């Protein structure tokens, strides 16, 4: 019974978490033309958004000053297919509207200075779910979940570019990075015998760091431009607080009736069913990945350009002692497992973007692009989940040895406990329109991204098929002095 309780609670609450995690490295587009070109902007970068894509492109700006702002409306849907039984689908949707880029550039002859604010992502969820008399478990009367989540990342900082010659520019950006996660949940489940379980917790994390970007741009002749930039996330600090209370009415009244779990980046412990456990401390960091962009842009005529980017993001893996010590009276248990912090694990990705721009009139242009958005997670295979379920049934995913009242336990690492258990290969297209004058411009861009793969949101079930669908509209306004 307890296993069924926990399984269904996790199943009904897992999707919002998965939808909020960056399972793909391309989170959005920033700036006036980059969105319309599908992100193929590394060899151009000649407006304030170049601070993000390739600061060397700022060296080729010609206006004394430019300001630009961009807003994004995004509607995304994630579908987990055939959960536990054929035809049972769990859909998770989110939508939001927020400014995602503000920047300016100042021109001093060969020197260009810029300042920009980039809201790389901002996910907000506020959900209330209720399931009555589910077919998968006739012993359950009702399950209720109340969830409020917010995930965001903000970049703020200056840029500088220097035009070495009329064909070669170097540039650099130094962003301050703030990455936050705030989650609050309450879960309640009542059974046919009127017993119930309730779980309530909060998980708040704030991570700070810097992200330097260095770029180079070269125009060997008037109709061709080449660009490259490299960046890296460097974590400088952070804090985290986790607090959880779990109540089971079927337990006897007393000290074991309620579980308490509390943790920070300095320590993590719990009292569960009367057992005191010292857990591995929580991570306060985010993956410190690097990204390299290569770009080429071709200008066959004064009205038409084509650009192409390759974006390679490195993988990341962090290891730390994950051992636990538990005690209840004179009984001591030592539990060991894999040292990998799976919350931080990322797989390397290589993405491609191709964009085109054509000026129908001197003041009106059409932009279009296509791009890939590969997953930074490992594929969740059906065979792996089947083997995991067998180990769970046979040995509860652990082996142990006991001497007297003392035990040593080895917990087998398994995909079901992996928070990075969503895999989706996404593809996107963009279509934009831009109105340009000597003093200002207005751009509107529509982006459609779809993908499919597999996931495993319930550790007590086999992997299931997964589908992703998102629509975005970018509105960008700029002025020139």
CB 40 within 8 A of CB 354: yes
Q: What is the mean pLDDT of residues 76-90?
A: 66
- Reported as a single tens digit per residue, the pLDDT across 142-200 is 888 888 888 899 999 999 999 999 999 999 999 999 999 999 999 898 998 888 999 99
Fold of the domain built from segment(s) 2-480: Porin (2.40.160)
Map 270-329 to HEC letters: EEECCEEEEECCCCCCCCCCEEEEEEEEECCCCCEEEEEEEEEECCECCECCCCEEEEEC
In this predicted structure, the answer to whether residue 205 has a pLDDT above a threshold of 50 is: yes
Residue 401 makes CB contacts below 8 A (sequence gap 6+) with 407, 408
Closest alpha carbon to 295 in 352, 221, 357, 367: 352
Closest alpha carbon to 8 in 149, 94, 127, 129: 129
Confidence of residue 434 (pLDDT cuts 50, 70, 90): very high
CB 460 within 8 A of CB 14: no
- Reported as a single tens digit per residue, the pLDDT across 218-268 is 999 989 999 999 999 999 999 999 999 999 888 877 667 789 999 999 999
- Reported as a single tens digit per residue, the pLDDT across 267-313 is 999 998 889 999 999 999 999 999 999 999 999 999 999 999 999 99
Q: Among 2-16, 23-37, 111-125, name the one with the lowest average pLDDT.
A: 2-16
414/114: higher pLDDT:
114
d(C-alpha 466, C-alpha 448), whole Å: 17
Q: What is the mean pLDDT of residues 197-210?
A: 95
Tokens of 188: 């309640």
Residue 269 makes CB contacts below 8 A (sequence gap 6+) with 261, 262, 263, 276, 277, 278, 279
Closest alpha carbon to 224 in 308, 300, 311: 300
CB 142 within 8 A of CB 190: yes
- Looking at beta carbons, which pairs linking 299-303 to residues 24 or more positions away fall under 8 Å? 299/222, 299/223, 299/224, 299/225, 300/223, 302/359, 303/358, 303/359
d(C-alpha 213, C-alpha 218), whole Å: 17
Closest alpha carbon to 433 in 477, 367, 343: 367
Q: How large a percentage of the chain has pLDDT more than 70?
A: 90
The pTM assigned to this predicted structure is 0.89
Tokens of 464: 């299931």
Residue whose pair of structure tokens reads 């079901």 in the numeric block? 416
In this predicted structure, the answer to whether residue 87 has a pLDDT above a threshold of 70 is: no
Burial class (CB in 10 A: 0-12, 13-18, 19+), 426: buried
Mean of pLDDT over the chain: 87
pLDDT for 4 equals 43
CB 346 within 8 A of CB 354: no
How many CA atoms lie less than 13 Å away from 11 in the CB half-sphere? 28
Burial class (CB in 10 A: 0-12, 13-18, 19+), 25: buried
CB 293 within 8 A of CB 54: yes
């Amino acid at each position: 019974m307890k296993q069924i309780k926990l399984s269904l609670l996790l199943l009904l609450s897992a999707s919002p978490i998965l939808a909020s995690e960056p399972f793909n490295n391309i989170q959005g587009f920033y700036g006036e033309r980059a969105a319309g070109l599908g992100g193929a902007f590394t060899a151009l970068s000649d407006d304030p958004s170049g601070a993000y894509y390739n600061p060397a492109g700022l060296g080729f700006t010609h206006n004394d000053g430019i300001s630009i702002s961009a807003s994004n409306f995004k509607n995304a849907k994630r579908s987990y297919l055939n959960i536990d039984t054929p035809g049972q689908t769990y859909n998770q949707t989110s939508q939001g509207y927020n400014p995602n880029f503000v920047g300016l550039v100042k021109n001093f002859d060969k020197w260009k200075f810029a300042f920009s604010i980039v809201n790389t992502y901002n996910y907000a969820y506020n959900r209330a779910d209720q399931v009555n008399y589910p077919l998968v478990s006739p012993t359950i009367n009702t399950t209720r979940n109340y969830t409020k989540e917010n995930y965001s990342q903000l970049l703020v900082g200056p840029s500088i570019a220097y035009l070495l010659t009329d064909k070669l520019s170097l540039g650099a950006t130094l962003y301050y990075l703030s990455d936050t996660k705030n989650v609050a949940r309450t879960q309640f489940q009542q059974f046919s015998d009127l017993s119930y379980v309730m779980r309530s917790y909060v998980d708040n994390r704030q991570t700070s760091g810097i992200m330097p970007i260095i770029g180079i741009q070269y125009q060997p002749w008037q109709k061709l431009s080449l660009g490259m930039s490299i960046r890296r996330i460097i974590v400088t600090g952070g804090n985290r607080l986790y607090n959880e209370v779990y109540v089971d009415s079927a337990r006897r009244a007393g000290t074991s009736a309620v579980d308490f779990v509390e943790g920070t980046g300095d320590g993590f412990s719990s009292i569960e069913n009367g057992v005191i456990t010292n857990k591995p401390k929580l991570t306060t960091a985010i993956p410190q990945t690097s990204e390299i962009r290569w770009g080429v842009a071709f200008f066959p005529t004064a009205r038409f350009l084509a650009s192409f980017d390759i974006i390679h993001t490195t993988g990341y893996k962090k290891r730390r002692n994950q051992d636990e010590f538990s005690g209840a009276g004179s009984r001591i248990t030592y539990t060991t497992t894999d040292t990998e912090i799976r919350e931080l694990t990322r797989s390397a990705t290589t993405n491609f973007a191709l964009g085109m721009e054509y000026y129908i009139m001197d003041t009106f242009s059409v932009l279009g692009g296509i791009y890939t958005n590969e997953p930074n997670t490992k594929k969740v295979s059906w065979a792996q989940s089947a083997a995991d379920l067998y180990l769970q049934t046979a040995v509860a995913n652990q082996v142990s040895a006991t001497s007297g009242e003392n035990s040593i336990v080895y917990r087998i690492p398994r995909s079901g406990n992996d928070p990075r258990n969503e895999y989706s290969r996404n593809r996107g297209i963009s279509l934009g329109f831009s109105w340009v004058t000597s003093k200002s411009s207005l751009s509107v861009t529509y982006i459609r991204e779809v993908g499919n793969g597999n996931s495993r949101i319930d550790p007590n079930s086999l992997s299931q098929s997964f589908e992703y669908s998102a629509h975005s509209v970018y509105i960008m306004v700029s002025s020139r002095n």
